[in-house]
Amino acid sequence: MTSDVTVTRVAAATAMATPAIAAERIDWTQRWGNRLDQVDDLLKAHPVAAQQPDAAALVQLLRDGPEAVIRQLPTAARQALAFCEDASLSRSQLGAKLGNDPALVQGLLRTANSAAFSAGRAAVLGIDQALDRIGVSGTRAVVLASCVDGLLSHPGGEFNAMAADVWAHMVRTAPLARAMAPAFAAEADEAFAIALLHDIGKLVIFDRISVLRASRRRPITLDASFAHLLLQELHEPIGALAAERWGMGERAANAIGTHHRMMHATQRDSLSEVLFLAERADHAMRRSSPLDLDALWQLGRLTGSPARVATALQQFQHAA
């Protein structure tokens, strides 16, 4: 059950955003390197992590570049995604090809029967019905999420719980993004698909922790506050590069890479804006704290309709 959250309505004048600047093509590899340089400085200044060899080793491991750091999807996963993109396949043929993976079928049925897609309708019990309900974008997102979940290694120890929290947050944020998307003139199913993996960069970092743990054959010692800084600084560019590497496309990469709306908040990117707001809505709901749309509109330089967002959130909470 989703917690109720108080939504502070934004003034009508705030909905008029600063004119958008045309989106530039972002070099995410360079952005990753720049952020790593910042992390180096944070590490040197950190009173605890600066004395932890594992912290320096992890940062160095992350300097190996996208090809080494971001795992490539296995052949079976790429084939499943190719099925989703094959327009020549009928819905029943696609269902037959995807139906050989029980975990994937379970994920598709769970998504189709969620509040975001069921809207009070009867539960679906078969994969064909699930595909009809969630559509191509939703199906591809669930397939990719399932593949990635099996691809990335568990970091061990306390980091396992942190990684599980990230997955849970992404799963909760996806239906919120779908509900809010029309308020930003964004495509609802595309917003759902991208939100489902918007923090994937954090999971890539946890995967590197697992690699470091395996190489050292012991648990990794990493100060929690520095781990938080590392995740915050690096997860956007790493997530953007993962989206590119896994075939999600440039639009998805840009939205994932800018969803905190800090460095590119003046650019009009409806998907980035949706992710920004959906993420904060999930945090507010989990904490049962007020959601101040006025403050968020200014912070993220948002350009959608705040009135429609408020209505969408009320409807979402009622459905949940």
pLDDT digits (tens, 9 = 90+) for 98-126: 998 888 899 999 999 988 888 778 999 99
d(CA 290, CA 2): 14
pLDDT band at 264 (very low <50, low <70, confident <90, very high): low
d(CA 238, CA 258): 11
Query: What percent of the chain shows pLDDT beyond 90?
Result: 76
pLDDT digits (tens, 9 = 90+) for 36-84: 999 999 999 999 999 999 999 999 999 999 999 999 999 988 999 999 9
Domain boundaries, the chain: 7-71+152-319
pLDDT of residue 12: 40
Q: pTM (2 decimals)? A: 0.90
More reliable by pLDDT, 123 or 8? 123
Q: Is residue 22 pLDDT above 60, yes or no?
A: no
pLDDT digits (tens, 9 = 90+) for 148-176: 988 999 899 889 999 999 999 999 999 99
Q: Are 236 and 200 in contact (CB under 8 A)?
A: no
Domain 7-71+152-319 part of CATH 1.10.20: no
pLDDT digits (tens, 9 = 90+) for 213-240: 999 999 999 999 999 999 999 999 999 9
pLDDT of residue 4: 65
Alpha carbons within 13 angstroms on the beta-carbon side of residue 100 total: 9
Average pLDDT along the chain = 90
Task: Find, among 1, 2, 38, 14, the residue nearest to 262 by Cα.
Answer: 38
**Cα–Cα–Cα angle for 276, 155, 139, rounded to 5 degrees:** 50
